[in-house]
Amino acid sequence: MTDHTQPQQPYHPPRPPYEPVRPITTEPGTTVWPSGSGGGHTPPPAGPAYATAGPTPAAGPAPVSRRRAKRGVGLMAAVAIAAAAIGGGTATLVQQLTVRDAPVTASSVVSGTNVSASSAGTVAGVAEAVSPSIVEISASSTSGKSTGSGVIITGDGEIVTNNHVISGASDISVRTSDGKTYRAEVVGKDPDKDLALIKLQDASGLKAATLGDSSKVKVGDEVVAIGSPEGLTGTVTSGIVSALDRDVTVAKDPEEDSGGQDGQQRWDPRQGWPFEFGGQEFNGDTGSSKTTYKALQTDASLNPGNSGGALINMNGEIIGINSAMYSPSSSSGSTAGSVGLGFAIPVDTLKADLDTLRSGGRS
């Protein structure tokens, strides 16, 4: 019996439960496998598309397309750049605010002065810094007692004042801003410039004033005056420089001008120092022995006792020595207060005369 073998039927595997993944060809030589919808299936190796007999074990998250990857990176970069820009702007703003609002340290000072940087340009700052260098001078003579002011220029007690403050004095006492009292003697005087230099006895460690430059002074500059008007020690007033180079004529010496015979002075200390300006006499008769100098005019209030004190700029530098002021007289002969016409000897005149004063001056 012939054994007839039935032809073998080809085997067809069952249809997979998902659609096989097929590669996408974008350009020659480049194949991209899209992620499958079945999840967790890894695309087969490069080659013709085929279906597997069963699911392939999961091998990590499905890859994403190159186009989507680029879009994600671009978005992240844009966010990072924006954050950096905002962060940088915030840091810059904080830095600017910090620098602008940073407090000035106490050690900072204005160059060439003893006024702290935080107080420069204020009357309070100038007064605080310079007041320790201004003194009250009491001068006694056979004609009575007068009060004036002076400026300390050395730590061992050299003091500049007006000649008319100490002229003819037999006894001079000086009180400093801390209340201490010293005896003083005349070193030299120059009646032609109404300047004098006195020296304290047994003094040391005093705070000397800084002498400025009066050639740089301009009309309208703010100034501070410190002195002892009417014996009120350490009085501070302020104003501006109202004029320059005023020709002010003053008496050289009240004791000499009185003739020395009757002991009668031709001026009253309570009326301030007599002077002439513009052909008119102020605060009494100037007498026959006169001298004229160029003065700074100020509207800072000056009163009797301010003579010899300091006129100061807003950097705390001495720019003048107060010497004369105008006060209108009433019919009774008494005077009213300052009306804003005061005069000061420029500090450059003082600096040019210091060597003469220290050598004895014209006594």
Which residues are part of the catalytic machinery? Answer: 164, 194, 307
Rounded to whole angstroms, the Cα distance separating 302 from 308 reads: 11
Amino acid at 251: A
Rounded to whole angstroms, the Cα distance separating 360 from 363 reads: 7
Q: How many CB atoms lie within 10 A of CB 269?
A: 21
The residues pairing with 32 across neighbouring beta strands, listed in sequence order, are 24
SS3 at position 73: helix
Rounded to whole angstroms, the Cα distance separating 275 from 324 reads: 7
DSSP annotation of 61 reads S
Which H or E run includes 25? strand 24-27
Question: Cα separations (Å) of 301 from 21, 95, 237, 305, 325?
Answer: 103, 46, 6, 12, 9
DSSP annotation of 13 reads P
| Beta carbons of 300 and 219 less than 8 angstroms apart | no
Cα end-to-end span (Å), the chain? 171
SS3 at position 205: coil
Rounded to whole angstroms, the Cα distance separating 269 from 271 reads: 5
Where does the chain have alpha helices with state H? Answer: 66-101, 123-130, 163-166, 254-257, 347-358
| Beta carbons of 91 and 83 less than 8 angstroms apart | no
**208 Cβ contact list (under 8 Å, min separation 6):** 133, 152, 153, 154, 155
Angle (nearest 5°) at CA 135 between 132 and 136: 145
